[in-house]
Amino acid sequence: MFSPATHKEILPGSTIGILGSGQLGRMLALAARPSGYRIHVFSPERDTPAGQVADLEMCAAYDDLDAVRAFARGVDVVTYEFENVPANTAVACQQFAPLRPGPQALHIAQNRLREKTFFVENGLPTAPFAAVHSLADLHNGLAEIGCPAVLKTAVSGYDGKGQIKIMHPDEAAAAWLAAGQVDCILEGWVEFERELSVVAARGLDGRFAHYGVIENSHAHHILDVSQAPADVPTAVPAQAIEMVRTVMEALDVVGVLCVEFFLTGDGRLLLNEMAPRPHNSGHLTIEACITSQFEQQCRAVCGLPLGDTRYRQPAAMANLLGDLWFSQRRETTGGRAETQRKEPDWTAVLRLPNIKVHLYGKREARPGRKMGHLTALANSVDEAERMVREARALLGN
């Protein structure tokens, strides 16, 4: 049985176990390998983005607790790259290895209602919200919060999935049906000026490090472009960073965590959501910072000193979605819409100085699926943003 006292520092050469095997696990593995760590990944799938670069890809269901225990026995620490790790899986891991961040962070981050309640209990501002467990709750919530509002399923929604915008109280019944009549949160619609995020890390010794404020723009609810440092009023970064420190201390997080914020026109920061893991908006730290968010995750979960988070240069990142692998729909002579598969024009982008291409090794491109990203470094954040958008446009579509 794992004893916390004997697991203070998990030194290079040890084995890191990752629950989940997507791109975040892949980038953690790639960041941990240079300092000699071995990587084992656990997920229900094979030939995964993380599995392709790991020492061991264990394939089993998350609720196969015998398999989870066998996995945890073979590693020195367990971390995760998605927050919907079932509670039983987390407990099974903890019998044999430290789980970092711990189960409290998972418990809060798995449920939007718990998350917003936790923020408010810790004195952190959010959009007005109400718990919705029935159509009657939704009517009451709309009367209290007003329209427009957004109804979100409390669990397993991401990238805008499970979200319904409500413009008028008459739409309540349809929205409740569309949400699947499951536990939801109703939030007041925020006319934000900008969306921001802070990625930060907290060590086993309680030390805290952050990557400043990153500015994000979304398309169809999916992160599209991130840029850092964010061009925001001078008081904003310190406030946002202190809020993230509050979150991490309250949850005793050991690892990396990201908080997403709305910045309103009158300069207020509202917390939207958090993820107790590296975040898509922090991918630009791979090239831009002395220590990337993934190396930092490795250091933090292994109980090592945190690395220097300073930026070498302003940076911008653009996501590459599966849509890039398909040409625009065209009307055929018979009047039917048609999509055609194509390969993005990689050589056009690889010719550009200061653009880095990341692909996650996913075999199948699907519209909306995150397949990779581009990062640009430049002398100003505006220039980096322009470069990364132009580079992505060269890929086609």
Distance (Å, whole) CA 209 – CA 244: 10
Instruction: Specify the residue, 190 or 315, whose C-beta has the smaller distance to ligand AMP.
Output: 190
Among positions 1-30, residues that touch ligand AMP (CB under 6 A) are none
CB 125 within 8 A of CB 268: yes
Angle (nearest 5°) at CA 56 between 55 and 60: 160
Q: How far is the CB of 266 from ligand AMP (least distance, A)?
A: 15
Phi/psi at 82 (nearest 5 deg)?
-150, 155
Instruction: Specify the residue, 42 or 129, whose C-beta has the smaller distance to ligand AMP.
Output: 129
Phi/psi at 72 (nearest 5 deg)?
-65, -30
Q: How far is the CB of 273 from ligand AMP (least distance, A)?
A: 5
Among positions 194-233, residues that touch ligand AMP (CB under 6 A) are 195, 218, 221
CB 350 within 8 A of CB 395: no
Amino acid at 33: R
Among positions 41-80, residues that touch ligand AMP (CB under 6 A) are none
Residue nearest ligand AMP by beta-carbon distance: 190
CB 197 within 8 A of CB 259: yes
From 4-12, 182-190, 197-205, 292-300, span contacting ligand AMP (CB under 6 A) = 182-190
From 88-96, 130-138, 183-191, 303-311, span contacting ligand AMP (CB under 6 A) = 183-191
Q: Does 367 bind ligand AMP (CB under 6 A)?
A: no
Q: How far is the CB of 192 from ligand AMP (least distance, A)?
A: 6
Amino acid at 40: H
CA distances from 324 to 63, 79, 369, 396 (A): 35, 32, 10, 7
| CB neighbours of residue 311 within 10 Å | 18
Residue that has been written with the tokens 């990587």 in this structure: 39
Pattern of binders to ligand AMP over 243-272, x per CB under 6 A? -----------------x-----------x
Candidate list 2, 189, 208, 326; residue touching ligand AMP; CB under 6 A: 189
Q: How far is the CB of 70 from ligand AMP (least distance, A)?
A: 34
The site that binds ligand AMP (CB under 6 A) totals a number of residues, namely 13
| CB neighbours of residue 177 within 10 Å | 11
Instruction: Specify the residue, 167 or 350, whose C-beta has the smaller distance to ligand AMP.
Output: 167
Residue that has been written with the tokens 């090794």 in this structure: 361
Distance (Å, whole) CA 213 – CA 350: 29
Q: Does 127 bind ligand AMP (CB under 6 A)?
A: yes
Q: Does 160 bind ligand AMP (CB under 6 A)?
A: yes
From 74-82, 184-192, 235-243, 321-329, span contacting ligand AMP (CB under 6 A) = 184-192
Q: Does 83 bind ligand AMP (CB under 6 A)?
A: no
Strand partners, 132: 184
Estimate the crossing angle of helix 293-301 against helix 23-32, to 10 degrees: 70
| Chain contacts with ligand AMP (rule: CB under 6 A) | 127, 150, 158, 160, 187, 189-190, 195, 218, 221, 260, 272-273
